[in-house]
Structure 1
Amino acid sequence: MFTSVEDTPLGPWAQFGADVLSFLRDAGLLLLGVAGIIVGALVLSWVLRLVIRRVVARVVNGAKSKANVDDTQALERSPLAAVRLVQRTRTLGSILQNIVNVAIGIVAIVLIINLLAPGVLGSIALLTAAIGAGLGFGAQNIVKDVLNGIFIVAEDQIGIGDVVDLGLATGIVEYVSVRITHVRDVNGTLWYVRNGEITRIGNMSQGWSRVIIDLAVPVDADINEVESAMLEAAKDLAKEPKWRTRIIEKPEVWGLESVSGDALVIRLVMKTRANAKDDVARELRMRLKHAIDALGLTLPQLNSIVLTGLEGAQRVRGANPPKTRPTPVTTEAAPIPERPVWKPKRTRKTAPPADTTPEGSAGDNTAGDSTPPDDDTTPKTGGTT
């Protein structure tokens, strides 16, 4: 009879080789599964990010075509809604890309763990407890930052390119993510502000702004003439094509703002686009200076005029002059009066003669031999107590 090869017992080396081949086969399958998960995650992330970039580019190109410009920076002259749309779309695009990367990474890690050790993620209660503990302790601040960042961008509170005051930092927004915001101030310092730490936002790039010019003139100047010259200079600025698109409404003279012994302060305001306030203000100041020079007036020195209130605030919180106590000024040193000191009055006691009785003393005093009165001018010869 013939015996099959399968029934033939294997030797020790043959058994070891079979075990090695079985291990390599299983390990290879696991490695192929892990590699497949990683490659699939990378491909899915690349596809989703490509779709997001295409959508953002389409929105930006649509805004450019409607404004009939070729560069995004030129959109400053287009309606403000187009600029806000571009900024908001880019910000949402960056946030969506971050969310896609994080979500795909978490799913890939869970799938790899489940492939390598299926029993680790089998208990739903253990996974829920771990997630709850992580959110309650270590990830609480991260969750706060992410949620606050999503609401900030979704509500259009902030966008890339906006000039904002976050309390912690003031400057131009260069980057917004789901957890952190980058703000570069006027000195060039880049501030990293966590979205969870932002409690208030002052956005200087949304809507419109107002240029406020307080011009001080001499007290003997004609107020009506000065106001007419200021208003005429502002109107000439608003009529020029270069500045016409940056000015929203006609300039206004609000009148006499402050009166003092040194100068009269007249206020002129002009409503402009939010991103053109500083440029319009500089040009308007120069033209007002030329108008005052044409009237032959000399600007006084403002040494004691302090404008307070919301219009004169230097920051969002406001700035008021410090309160100090007046310092007394004396021309010459006056003599300081000395404090009177009370001293007890000294009296002199004289003993009566041994041969004199009280009645005799009284009779002598009645007759005229009276002792001179005791006063401070008489010499004191007796003992003192």
Structure 2
Amino acid sequence: MPDFTNPEWWAQVGQFFASVGWNLLTVAGIIVGAMVVAWIFQRMIARIVTRIVSGAKDKANVDDTMALDRSPLAAVRLVQRTRTLGSILRNIVNVSIVVIAALMIVNLLAPTALGSLTLLTAAVGAGLGFGAQNIVKDILNGIFIVAEDQIGIGDVVDLGLATGIVEYVSVRVTHVRDVNGTLWFVRNGEILRIGNMSLGWSRVIIDLAVPADADIPEVEGAMLEAARGLAKDPKWRTRILEAPEVWGLESVSGDALVIRLVMKTRAGAKDDVARELRMRLKNAIDGLGLTLPQLNSIMLTGLEGASRVRGANPPKTKPTQIAPQAAAGAVWKPKKKPRGAAHPAPAPEDETP
């Protein structure tokens, strides 16, 4: 039973309430300080993001970020990457400040509890880390993908797991819509390689197969003329970056010769240019009176793709006709097949007496 008449007891009670009040004031100060620090960092991050986005809008001469779709792609990618990184930084700041403030409060109210909870905290952290390692991997990989601008909204990409147009990029998941309309959700931690077909430039590679008896220089000239006509067309010249090239005879078979034509285009215009170029090549070859066995578009891969990435300028050489070995002392001259003839020319007669 406490002795209410004892002054020492009242002094202990006053000291207890004073310590409790001081602890409460300290906790309130820690919370207020954490909120102030969080507010300062939030304002700094928001200010930096706003300045970068405003600079992109001013440079593109637009008032709304939605209108950046009509501006260069770099501005759109810059705004998207800046906002994503700003969101990541805000989350990191908030979590860090909350954790630090919580540790300070626990250390103030129960100084010995923090040490006793060390093993429990380590065990819980290890369990959560093991269970959430995939999430951490996704987030870290997503941060690098966004920070390094490897992909952006609207890019045509090959992620290995899915191929299509990127519709959304976050720090954990990337949304890719394929040509069939299927929306793929690809975890960033599962992405081992990224093939971005929307950056820089692309190359249209078309292999044109012509009959084995066709005049190669004439066919190459017709192909090059058709491709140059496409490059000069006002509708298409803005999508073509360099003059077309004929890389020459690619392969020879018993019934066809394959000649390769290439054209460097903007990244997003490759398919449209390839369709128009195939149509013009078909018309040009029809004008020569030849029948096309096949007309293929080629995608070079592996070592062949790496060796051809810088292009090629093959020397212009005329094919050398090699006469078959005739009888001893006999001289045989090949007869040219008249263009458009339905039947092959008769074989030369043996001049040996």
TM-score, L = length of structure 2: 0.64
Contact 1:63–1:86 (CA<8 Å) still a contact in 2?
Answer: no
Distance in 2 between the 1:239 and 1:221 partners?
27
2:87 corresponds to which residue? 97
1:194 is displaced (CA, Å) by 1.6
Q: 1:316-335, aligned counterparts within 5 Å?
A: none
CA RMSD of aligned residues (A): 4.2
1:58 corresponds to which residue? 54
Q: 1:57 to 1:308 in 2, by over 3 A?
A: closer
1:254 is displaced (CA, Å) by 1.1
TM-score, L = length of structure 1: 0.59
Deviation readout 1:55-81 (Å, 9 max, x if unpaired): 342242244249xxx9434445xxxxx
Tell me the amino acid that sits aligned with residue 266 of structure 1: I
Contact 2:203–2:270 (CA<8 Å) still a contact in 1?
Answer: yes
Q: 1:71 to 1:307 in 2, by over 3 A?
A: closer
Contact 1:149–1:196 (CA<8 Å) still a contact in 2?
Answer: yes
Tell me the amino acid that sits aligned with residue 147 of structure 1: L
Q: 1:154 to 1:284 in 2, by over 3 A?
A: same
Tell me the amino acid that sits aligned with residue 268 of structure 1: L
Q: How many residues align?
A: 280
Distance in 2 between the 1:125 and 1:263 partners?
77
Contact 1:88–1:159 (CA<8 Å) still a contact in 2?
Answer: no
Tell me the amino acid that sits aligned with residue 243 of structure 1: W
Tell me the amino acid that sits aligned with residue 207 of structure 2: D
Structure 1 gaps of 5+ residues are 1-6, 8-24, 77-82, 315-385
1:166 is displaced (CA, Å) by 0.9
Q: 1:282 to 1:297 in 2, by over 3 A?
A: same
Q: Is 1:205 matched with 2:198? A: yes
Deviation readout 1:51-108 (Å, 9 max, x if unpaired): 3541342242244249xxx9434445xxxxxx34541441242132133135314533
1:263 corresponds to which residue? 256
Q: 1:52 to 1:188 in 2, by over 3 A?
A: farther
Q: 1:363-378, aligned counterparts within 5 Å?
A: none
1:3 corresponds to which residue? none
Identity of aligned residues (%): 59
Tell me the amino acid that sits aligned with residue 223 of structure 1: I
Distance in 2 between the 1:62 and 1:128 partners?
50
1:263 is displaced (CA, Å) by 2.5
1:72 corresponds to which residue? 68
Distance in 1 between the 2:163 and 2:299 partners?
22
2:347 corresponds to which residue? none
Q: 1:198 to 1:252 in 2, by over 3 A?
A: same
1:36 is displaced (CA, Å) by 6.6
1:206 is displaced (CA, Å) by 1.9
Q: Is 1:146 matched with 2:145? A: no
Structure 2 gaps of 5+ residues are 6-20, 306-353
Distance in 2 between the 1:38 and 1:190 partners?
41
Q: Is 1:119 matched with 2:110? A: yes
1:270 is displaced (CA, Å) by 0.6
Rg: which structure is higher? 1
Contact 2:27–2:105 (CA<8 Å) still a contact in 1?
Answer: no
Q: 1:1-385, aligned counterparts within 5 Å?
A: 47=43, 50-65=46-61, 71-75=67-71, 83-84=73-74, 86-105=76-95, 107-108=97-98, 111=101, 118-119=109-110, 122-123=114-115, 125=118, 129=122, 133-134=126-127, 136-300=129-293, 310=301
Q: Which moved more, 1:88-97 or 1:34-43?
A: 34-43
2:316 corresponds to which residue? none
Contact 2:206–2:297 (CA<8 Å) still a contact in 1?
Answer: no
1:169 is displaced (CA, Å) by 1.0
1:235 is displaced (CA, Å) by 0.8
